[in-house]
Structure 1
Amino acid sequence: MISEKLKNNSKIFSVSVIVLLIFRLLLTATIPLLDKTEARYAEIARIMQETKQWIVLQIDYGVPFWAKPPLSTWMSAASFELFGVNEFASRFPSFLLSLILIIIAGKMVKKEGVSFYLPGFILLTMPEFLIHTGVVSTDTSLEFCITIMMISFWQTMKNEGKTYWNYLFFVALGFGFLSKGPLITVLTFPPLFLWCCLDIKRFKTIFSKFSIIPGVLITAIIAIPWYYYAEKETPGFLDYFIVGEHYKRFVEPGWKGDLYGSGHSQPKGMIWLYLVAFVFPWIQIVLYKLWKNRPLVFKNSWVSFLLLWAFWTPLFFTISSNILHTYVLPSAMPIMFLVVYFWEEFTRKKLLISVALFFPVVVFIAYFGWFATGKLDFKMNSDKYLLENLKVTTVNKEIPIYYWKVKNYSGQFYTNGKAQVIKTEMQLDSVQTLNKKLFFVIPTKMEKEISKKQLDKMTLTQSNYKTSIFVTK
């Protein structure tokens, strides 16, 4: 039965979830694509949609992108087909996957007499989950596949006889290989194995309830064809992706083999600080409740299942120096389920709700504050507004655009791939002799690399906190 306190809070949950989803949808449509990561994946999807090359991902025309599988890119490219090439279309698949997870979780807890909106409230007040509910990245699709796998495993083990959940487990595994590669097995199989070790009889249950051979075939049919054709069309892909991205990236600090940037070197164990910061305040509540109930944790099959699911990912990444805060995203769903499980025990729910709303309210105030003052275009790590003001896709769409030393991915996206790069003053001098109007995009911190003689030939026309655009006189 739903307690009176929960009934009293149900309206808060429903209103908060609806408002946060609408606000997040607004952000997907109005915030420009941000450099580097988000704009990079959006540009890869834009090139895919333009060239109709659906097998080999390209980071630039004719330049293969071997770092990630294609699932999230396929979704963004398909979204471009439906909605046109814009920020909303690139982000909508991520928003949709997050919304589906919220609905699935809501339906699961509602069967236990809990508010349908409680899981959504918890998830959307987690900084990490809220951020990824509408961001162009591979992490949301990975999180989705992991969640479907784990829920399918639990439902299969709980139900009598074989159910469709059994096959859904292998379907999610197949798409997991297409979302971020073999990492899907590393983040799911160990916690499932450890959970079964808590009761040896569970191993026997696996063989009786899972159609393993047909399931493996389902996974293979979904995943293998793309890997085969990607290697066939660009030999060397498998070695870079399997060995480089799935071994060296995690064990070599500042991995030098990254073809598309540099390793994100952090002190070992940094993942736990990310977990504390980006799953605030729910991770703190969960840790407290688990400690308080520690004698019973491993005696409860659901709590122990969630515990291993939630903390295996940060435990695994503890040994890695190349990490990002996005790596805590797979822990969001199990932490949410743990909060729901302990919800009835919380005595100060209103205070907890108020604290949970802190991050969304700050984002809300910051967004509308910048929007009202007209500072949104100046504060964003994107070239969108600079290029829009120059009308490079309308009135001035035939004017060449050159970046000094390196192109921003947002610049590539918002110029529809026509941005070019100049790496030396000799090249700069050469293009300036063309005697035609040209735009030069120069990072503010790099202006000193260009001689006064060259700068005198240009006029500053647009700038923000990190980038300036000059036009030839």
Structure 2
Amino acid sequence: MSFNRVHLWILLGVTLVTRLLSLGAYPLMDTTEARYGEMARLMVETNNWITPQFDYGVPFWGKPPLFAWMSALGIKLFGVNEFAVRFPHWLAGVLIVGLVAYFAKRVGFSGLVSALVLSTSGVFLISAGAVMTDIALTLGMSLALIGFYLCWQGSKLWGYLAFLGLAIGLLAKGPLVIVLVGLAVVPWLVMHHGFLGSLKVLWQRFPMVGGLLVMGAISIPWYIAAERATPGFLNYFIIGEHIKRFVVSGWQGDLYGTAHNEARGTIWYFWLYAAAPWSLILPILWWNKRKQLGIGIDPESGLLSFLVFWMLSPMLLFTFAGNILPAYVLPGIPAMSVLIAILLSDEGNDNQWFKIVSGVVPILLLGAVIFIQSGTGNRRSDKALLRDIDPSVPTYYIGRRPFSGQFYSSGKAKYLQNYEILDHLKRAQLIGKKEAVEEVVHSKKMNCSIDTVEHSRRVLYRCERPR
């Protein structure tokens, strides 16, 4: 490929380093990042590495623990701060970039272009450095599908690595990874080999028995330990989180939040803007080069169709789901990056638009960090509110305690129900005027707060933020 490789390497380096430097530049914001960051902090403090905790002694059954293990290891290395909990997720993103670049080069196309497209896709750049479950799932799924394809081409070692990827996915987000990989692999196999032929190919080319043993040995012990530690976990996680969450609109069984209720098919709209700018460019490239598709690609390789099924698998799964988020499209983004590298493989020196598009994204990231630092972050996080509070002075939340309040107070900010506060303050002799307390408790104003310091104690009242 005749792209100026130096410029592309610089753009890739700037993108990844910019994201790295941004990790500690803004607070953990409610609810997702602060919630998962607090779970990691709790994991380290309580030394409970089996069951993530929603609060002290309250198990979190919503996700497997890989996200918490990652951030908890960051805390072990760097202490309790934003950089520590985000760095392992950034590192997972870098591993995905390297894996996809290797795969693209192995099948005969530019690994550098694939890496740059992937790293400058909006949802990937945000997730690679965010305390969420999605980047670990994407790492597992990418390893599983790349391993599958290369094993299909004859490398048994990559077959075992595919099952390792499934194990990572099972510890990142559960059986969802098997469904996503199946949606990519099964129709592709049937298209190339027929139904019965697919079964024969799976048995002959793939280490099914050994691979399943590897996958089970890595992932199943945690599931057993989690159920033994907190009975009821498997029923909630398998039935509730993997079936009811996606088929029951506005599912009321969610123990940890409010289920989303999007219109069916919204996942495609999410993909369009979450994977921007490349989701907008891919259809144009495909249409303009439709006559050249397949040139230089062995038709027996099935590479194009494999990447298309991989890219579309999250959208196919979530088309009829209402409880979805934009990050759900992330596992298909690596396939999109390789597709774009294939479509650009016949480009000559006319590549300025590619450099401009790739260079705009890190600039937008810097702008987003500046915007968050200008006050947006403080409105969605209690870091600034708790920064100057003496940790030896008790702090209380009434009605609702955000996860950022838990994280930035190191779990010391206590939560009191509205009906508990008057009796508590009376016994603690913190406030003499009952009316002042009632005014706060029953206030209907949003974003209100009152600090009262008497008898060397602090009572922090926080009203619920607008949704």
Q: TM-score range by the shorter chain?
A: 0.7 to 0.9
Q: Percent identity?
A: 37
Cα contact 1:432–1:472 (8 A) shared by 2:
no
Distance apart, 1:433 and its partner CA: 5.2
Counterpart pick for 2:396 among 397, 402, 408: 402
Task: Look up the equivalent residue of 1:25 and give its one-letter code.
Answer: L
Distance apart, 1:61 and its partner CA: 0.7
CA gap 1:194/1:378 in 2 versus in 1, 3 angstroms: closer
1:383 aligns with 2:386: no
Counterpart pick for 1:260 among 243, 256, 260: 256
Name whichever of 424-433 and 226-235 sits farther off.
Answer: 424-433
Partner of 2:322, secondary structure, is coil
Distance apart, 1:121 and its partner CA: 1.7
Deviations 1:140-163 (A, max 9, x none): 11010000000000111113xx43
Task: Look up the equivalent residue of 2:47 and give its one-letter code.
Answer: K
Q: TM-score, normalised by structure 1?
A: 0.86
Task: Look up the equivalent residue of 1:325 and give its one-letter code.
Answer: P
Task: Look up the equivalent residue of 1:248 and give its one-letter code.
Answer: K
Counterpart pick for 1:365 among 348, 364, 367: 367
Task: Look up the equivalent residue of 2:34 and give its one-letter code.
Answer: A
Partner of 2:260, secondary structure, is coil
Distance apart, 1:111 and its partner CA: 4.8
Query: Mapping of 1:55-454 within 5 angstroms?
Result: 55-111=50-106, 116-159=111-154, 162-200=155-193, 201=197, 203-291=199-287, 301-345=302-346, 349-368=351-370, 371=373, 375-376=374-375, 379-388=378-387, 390=388, 392=389, 396-424=390-418, 427-428=421-422, 430-431=424-425, 434-436=428-430, 453-454=436-437
CA distance in 2, matches of 1:146, 1:68: 16
Cα contact 1:36–1:408 (8 A) shared by 2:
yes
Distance apart, 1:184 and its partner CA: 0.7
Partner of 2:451, secondary structure, is strand
CA gap 1:79/1:14 in 2 versus in 1, 3 angstroms: same
Distance apart, 1:13 and its partner CA: 1.7
Distance apart, 1:280 and its partner CA: 1.1
Counterpart pick for 1:468 among 437, 449, 455: 449
Partner of 1:198, secondary structure, is helix
CA distance in 1, matches of 2:15, 2:448: 32
CA distance in 2, matches of 1:274, 1:466: 30
Distance apart, 1:369 and its partner CA: 6.0
Distance apart, 1:436 and its partner CA: 4.7
Task: Look up the equivalent residue of 1:282 and give its one-letter code.
Answer: W
CA distance in 1, matches of 2:407, 2:354: 41
Distance apart, 1:134 and its partner CA: 0.3
CA distance in 1, matches of 2:398, 2:160: 52
CA distance in 2, matches of 1:212, 1:282: 36
Partner of 1:472, secondary structure, is strand
| Paired position in structure 2 for 1:19 | 14
Deviations 1:279-314 (A, max 9, x none): 112122222344456686795611100000001210
Partner of 1:471, secondary structure, is strand
Distance apart, 1:384 and its partner CA: 0.9
CA gap 1:329/1:73 in 2 versus in 1, 3 angstroms: same
CA distance in 2, matches of 1:195, 1:349: 33
Name whichever of 104-113 and 49-58 sits farther off.
Answer: 104-113
Cα contact 1:402–1:421 (8 A) shared by 2:
yes
| Paired position in structure 2 for 1:43 | 38
CA distance in 2, matches of 1:281, 1:451: 56
Cα contact 2:52–2:59 (8 A) shared by 1:
yes
Structure having greater relative contact order (Cα 8 Å, sep ≥ 6): 2
Task: Look up the equivalent residue of 2:416 and give its one-letter code.
Answer: I
Distance apart, 1:31 and its partner CA: 1.4
Task: Look up the equivalent residue of 2:365 and give its one-letter code.
Answer: V
CA gap 1:209/1:469 in 2 versus in 1, 3 angstroms: farther
Task: Look up the equivalent residue of 2:186 and give its one-letter code.
Answer: F
Deviations 1:410-458 (A, max 9, x none): 11011111111122265246325523599xxxxxxxxxxx996328899
- CA RMSD across the alignment: 2.7
CA gap 1:153/1:111 in 2 versus in 1, 3 angstroms: closer
Cα contact 1:178–1:223 (8 A) shared by 2:
yes
Q: How many residue pairs are counted as aligned between the two chains? A: 441
CA distance in 1, matches of 2:173, 2:253: 18
CA distance in 2, matches of 1:451, 1:317: 52
Cα contact 1:422–1:428 (8 A) shared by 2:
no
| Paired position in structure 2 for 1:446 | none
Deviations 1:168-207 (A, max 9, x none): 1111112211111110111001220111112115543332
Name whichever of 53-62 and 100-109 sits farther off.
Answer: 100-109
Partner of 1:319, secondary structure, is coil
CA distance in 1, matches of 2:189, 2:178: 16
CA gap 1:455/1:378 in 2 versus in 1, 3 angstroms: farther
Deviations 1:70-127 (A, max 9, x none): 1111121122122212111111111011001112222333456755532232122211
Name whichever of 58-67 and 21-30 sits farther off.
Answer: 21-30
Cα contact 2:25–2:369 (8 A) shared by 1:
no
**Structure 2: gaps spanning 5 or more residues:** 455-467
Task: Look up the equivalent residue of 1:419 and give its one-letter code.
Answer: A
Partner of 1:33, secondary structure, is coil
Distance apart, 1:252 and its partner CA: 0.7
